Amino acid sequence: MASLVRRIQDYYNWTLTLTDPRSKGWLLVDSPWPTLFGISGYLLMVWLGPKFMKNRKPLKLNKLLVVYNLAMAVLNFYIFWQLATASLRLNYSIFCEPCRQVWTPNEMQIVKAVWWYYFSKLLEFSDTLFFILRKKDNQLSFLHIYHHSTMFGFWWIGVKWVPSGSTAMPAIVNSFIHVLMYTYYGLSAIGPHMNKYLWWKRYLTIIQLIQFAGALILGFNGLRIDCDFPLWMQYTLCGYMVSFLVLFGRFYVNEYIEDHKKRQKEKLLSNNNNVDTIKNKNVTLNGKKHE
């Protein structure tokens, strides 16, 4: 065991020689411990939170949710804008873009935006906290917990080792989708009268699935063309996207296909019951007329 721990430590020390110096010294970046503590604290909250709220009334947080969700939409738009504008000026390729350790203003704009993207994943732990405080335990699915906990860890790796190049593209797409997502949640928190404007929730999931499929295709393409980007990052991206496609795909089927079929079946049964009730009433009325 001591030998295994020593080898792991040696391997980690070797990886430190490959880190990107541009993000050195930035908040939460240098050591893995803040990120590991953050993920551990998040999982502890998921475990203990529902127990703490079990015998308590759910909190009404509508005003806070409106402010939080719209603020997160603004933050994600800022990240998207910073990444997109700098990438366009640098003429980044969507197929393969090496991570160059240069300190030009545009490259540093991308590195800083990737750090904000990583930090936003810590802020997104609040999504789960609000579910717990409102006793929406049905929202604490494996997909939700897996998504939130792993994104924070994976993007620490990104900002520490590869904070530019091909790393920028998935962050650009995902931050834009989060603008739409948090705008949706912010509007829905205003009140039920907003529901008529929120018909597009299903399409958010479709866009997310397209995002994961696109990232997987680009990841495989990077491996195929031998892109000058860390090979381990390409494989990690591909494996991660496969897991999201499976989990989000299953969510889509359960939420929008199976649930739709269930509602249609219930509606049909309800209509049949109404018809039978009307027939029974007519029989009773006709019987009374003959008396």
- Active site amino acids: 147
DSSP of 202-230, one letter per residue? HHHHHHHHHHHHHHHHHHHHHHHTT-SS-
- Tell me which H or E stretch contains 236: helix 231-252
What are the CA-CA distances from residue 260 to residues 58, 252, 256, 257, 264 (Å)?
A: 28, 11, 6, 5, 6
Based on its alpha-carbon atoms, the radius of gyration of the chain, rounded to whole angstroms, reads: 25
Strand, coil or helix: 145: helix
Helix/strand number for the chain, H first, E second: 10, 0
What is the distance between the alpha carbons of residues 247 and 213, in angstroms, rounded to a whole number?
13
Q: Are 202 and 195 in contact (CB under 8 A)?
A: no
What is the distance between the alpha carbons of residues 160 and 216, in angstroms, rounded to a whole number?
22
What is the distance between the alpha carbons of residues 108 and 131, in angstroms, rounded to a whole number?
36
What is the distance between the alpha carbons of residues 238 and 224, in angstroms, rounded to a whole number?
12
What is the distance between the alpha carbons of residues 101 and 88, in angstroms, rounded to a whole number?
18
Task: Determine the Cα angle at 124 with ends 121 and 125, to 5°.
Answer: 105
